[in-house]
Amino acid sequence: MKDKKSMDILKETSRRWLHERGVEIEDIAKLVMYLQQKYHPDLELEECIYNVERVLTKREVQNAILTGIQLDRLAEKKMLEEPLQAIVEVDEGLYGVDEILAFSIVNVYGSIGFTNYGFIDKQKPGILQKLNDKSSGMCHTFLDDIVGAIAAAASSRLAHRNEGQQ
């Protein structure tokens, strides 16, 4: 995975899989806005989109997206062995591995990401509410946490960049 072509495939595939699962960059940017508007009243969606885009360039983020979505897809097809199938399929509250995968994204931009992630994971605004809806028939055990983590990381990135400008 070291050559540029392989890196481009990783980037393109992770973005395509997000789109195929119903997640757009703007959806994640709206979560960033939700997290940061209180601290940056003049914040515009374009700046949030820019920060989401930057987070999505990180290979660790792309790897987490691909891993999480693949596990969700396998759970939908009932291709995981028990008891893991049942745990992932119902998004068992004490499972926690989905959050651990999300932490790999949150870690990219420092500790402020943890608080942002914890907050947004509990609130579940916007696209997170949709991803958490079990009535769709789709499994988003990993994806909802990944999307929340991308938003938290982008929010952290934005906060770090704007710290000296206040």
User: Residue 2: what pLDDT?
Assistant: 64
Q: What is the pLDDT of residues 2-16, one digit of tens each?
A: 677 777 999 999 999
Average pLDDT over residues 109-120: 91
Tokens of 142: 């990993």
SS3 56: coil
Name the DSSP class of 140. Answer: -
In the chain, the percentage of residues whose pLDDT exceeds 90 is: 83
As a whole number of angstroms, the distance between CA 65 and CA 158 comes to: 21
User: What is the CATH number for 66?
Assistant: 1.10.3760.10
As a whole number of angstroms, the distance between CA 31 and CA 133 comes to: 17
Do residues 116 and 151 touch, judged by C-beta distance below 8 A? Answer: yes
Confidence of residue 166 (pLDDT cuts 50, 70, 90): very low
As a whole number of angstroms, the distance between CA 137 and CA 76 comes to: 8
User: Residue 91: what pLDDT?
Assistant: 94
User: Residue 14: what pLDDT?
Assistant: 98
Mean of the per-residue pLDDT values of the chain: 93
As a whole number of angstroms, the distance between CA 127 and CA 125 comes to: 6
Q: Among residues 20, 33, 51, 56, which one has the least CA distance to residue 140?
A: 20
Expressed as residue numbers, the domain containing 102 is: 4-165
pLDDT(104) > 90? yes
Average pLDDT over residues 68-95: 97
- The pTM assigned to this predicted structure is 0.94
Question: Between residues 135 and 86, which one has the greater pLDDT?
Answer: 86
Domain count within the chain: 1
Q: Is 159 exposed, middle or buried (0-12, 13-18, 19+ CB in 10 A)?
A: buried
